[in-house]
A and B are shown apart, each in its own frame.
Chain A
Amino acid sequence: MEVNKRDELPDVATLEIVVRPDVGVASTREQFLQDRIRRVVGPVIALELHPRTLIQIVVQIVQSGDTKALNTIALSASINATYMALLDAGVPLRSTVSATSIVCYATSSTQAALTTGGVLIDPTRPELEKIEKDITSVHTIAYELKGGQMERLLLSESVGSFTEDEVFECYDAAAKVCEETNRTMREAVTKSVQQKGRWRD
């Protein structure tokens, strides 16, 4: 796409990311999401193949799964959606991306979460609302995958108090979920390609 003169880069494509909230007008929260998505997706896209052009990504949150204070699900879902959209648009990518969110919370018996607390992987809104008061830390983790296997960590966004062990635990759990998500996405893509490619037969 044609790029604004002001934003034109001589050797790579400009990446514009717009995040739009489901309710209200864009605020710092959307800025935050934009920034994080750029960090994750930016290095994956082969920007140098399209110098002096614009790649515009618009993320519209249709239904927010987060409770008011959080935006972890929005972030992981945005990253996954962005990745799928990039695939659909045929933008050259270096590798596959997948993200997930993990919420740690204190169970009623323990004071602080430590390692004894509960862990929710890929939570839904009703689940979150139930434990809202006991949440101790929230992690959003994105992996770069190669051949369906976790390769490198792209994003680790953690908020709250937690221990080192907890983080590593989360990383392991996230890797599994990301691989799973990646498989689902792959299936979806295969299916759509098959459908689109029908004219070949």
Chain B
Amino acid sequence: MPRDLTPSTIENTFVLKALTERIRLDSRSFNQLRDLDISFSSTEYGVVDVKLGRTRVIARISAEITQPYTDRPYDGLFIISTEISPMAAPTFEAGRKSEDELVISRIIEKSIRRSGALDTESLCIISGEKCWAVRADVHFLDHDGGLMDAACIAVSAGLLHFRRPDITIEGVGSRREVIVHPITERVPVPLAVLHVPVCVTFSFFDVRKASSAISGRTRKDEAKDVDEDDVEEEEEEEEDDSSVAVLVDATLQEELLRHGYMSVTANTNREICQIQKGGDMPVDVGVLLSCSEAAIMVAEKVTKLINKRLKEDEARRNVGNLLVEARAENDR
């Protein structure tokens, strides 16, 4: 199987040099997202195609009726499956979890499931007996960095877009029966989505390291400096903000070269759902805080786009017969 892609030294120095001059290779500014495109399937509910630059992710939400877990009779099931196939990039092996994949799936899990984006209690039909199992399948079709960001947006948008068939419960006691009305018969019901989490990944580059590497100082000298001079460390502290380049929404190349990253999931209620900063590069607290704030801004922007696309989609569906019929039924 192919090993991890390792960028060449030339690439490395080139990208870093550009970053010291505050230039990104795709001519974006440091805090600029790539073009984000969200489109919904015209035939089915809950199928979302998210394109973030050249990264492409499809999320598909489906629901079926099952039995709830015995220890949580009032909760429905919500599963997010994020298996990365070699389709995204040949480095991902089919059927074997890589470390990256693990991190991605954990972050998405935390961002959406643990933050309670979907109200699982609303999925309960008959407590302890029947409940909806909502399943989100995330397909990574193309990998150009920011897989988790794209996946998170896709699942969030998918949950908002998805409609489950309406149900009625008939009978009493143990003889209760659940009747599922196909979506052609009754207006399907949207899911109870409590908030829209949006994940944003920040990549950190140690520009100081880069500039010293370029100026010909070896890393050994640099290490010595840090060890010996306390005076110089004081200076570094002042430089800190300029020595760290913070990039939003890195491409694959930037992702492979970065020295550290932090992914923040935020929503429009100014809430932070999840922060994950891997232990890579030590970064000043202030930088982390400003990143979190930036994440909220991004979340607002993305949520706005999702809502806009949802409205457009609804308008498109309204043209068809389905909703017109549905509205007639509502009037009655």
Interface string of A35-66 (1 = CB under 8 A from B): 00000000000000000000010101011000
User: In the assembled complex, which residues on chain B have CB atoms less than 8 Å from the CB atom of A4?
Assistant: 1
Chain A residue with Cβ nearest B49: A62
Q: Verify A58–B137 contact, CB threshold 8 A.
A: no
Q: Verify B135–A18 contact, CB threshold 8 A.
A: no
B219-247 residues with Cβ-Cβ distance < 8 A to A are none
Q: How far is the CA of A63 from the CA of B40 in the complex (A)?
A: 12
Q: Verify A58–B83 contact, CB threshold 8 A.
A: no
Counting CB contacts under 8 A, is B41 at the interface?
yes
Q: How far is the CA of A24 from the CA of B80 in the complex (A)?
A: 10
Count of residues in B whose CB is under 8 Å from the partner chain: 21
Q: Verify B2–A23 contact, CB threshold 8 A.
A: no
Q: Verify A60–B86 contact, CB threshold 8 A.
A: no
Chain B residue with Cβ nearest A20: B85
Q: Verify B1–A18 contact, CB threshold 8 A.
A: no
Please report the number of residue pairs spanning A and B whose Cβ atoms sit closer than 8 angstroms: 42
Q: Verify B41–A25 contact, CB threshold 8 A.
A: no
Count of residues in A whose CB is under 8 Å from the partner chain: 14
Contact partner of A25 among B60, B81, B141, CB < 8 A? B81
Q: Verify A20–B44 contact, CB threshold 8 A.
A: no
Q: Verify A58–B86 contact, CB threshold 8 A.
A: yes
Q: Verify B41–A56 contact, CB threshold 8 A.
A: no
Interface string of A130-164 (1 = CB under 8 A from B): 00000000000000000000000000000000000
Chain A residue with Cβ nearest B85: A20
**A4-B1, A58-B85, A58-B86 given as contacts; is B44 within 8 A of A63 (CB)?**
yes
Contact partner of A58 among B1, B3, B87, B135, CB < 8 A? B87
Q: How far is the CA of A1 from the CA of B1 in the complex (A)?
A: 8
Q: How far is the CA of A25 from the CA of B80 in the complex (A)?
A: 11
Counting CB contacts under 8 A, is B164 at the interface?
no
Contact partner of A23 among B43, B83, B135, CB < 8 A? B135
Q: Verify A24–B86 contact, CB threshold 8 A.
A: no
**A18-B94, A20-B85, A23-B60 given as contacts; is B137 within 8 A of A63 (CB)?**
no
User: In the assembled complex, which residues on chain B have CB atoms less than 8 Å from the CB atom of A201?
Assistant: none
B83-109 residues with Cβ-Cβ distance < 8 A to A are 83, 85-87, 90, 94
Contact partner of B58 among A1, A2, A58, A62, CB < 8 A? A62
B26-50 residues with Cβ-Cβ distance < 8 A to A are 41, 43-44, 47
User: In the assembled complex, which residues on chain A have CB atoms less than 8 Å from the CB atom of B1?
Assistant: 2, 4
User: In the assembled complex, which residues on chain A have CB atoms less than 8 Å from the CB atom of B137?
Assistant: 22-24
CB distance from A155 to the nearest CB of B (A): 23
Some 22 contacts from A to B, beta carbons below 8 A apart, are A1-B2, A1-B90, A2-B2, A18-B86, A18-B87, A18-B94, A20-B139, A23-B60, A23-B62, A23-B135, A23-B137, A25-B81, A56-B86, A56-B90, A58-B85, A58-B86, A58-B87, A58-B94, A60-B85, A62-B58, A62-B139, A63-B43
- Residues in B lying within 8 Å of A, measured CB to CB: 1-3, 41, 43-44, 47, 58, 60, 62, 81, 83, 85-87, 90, 94, 135, 137, 139, 141
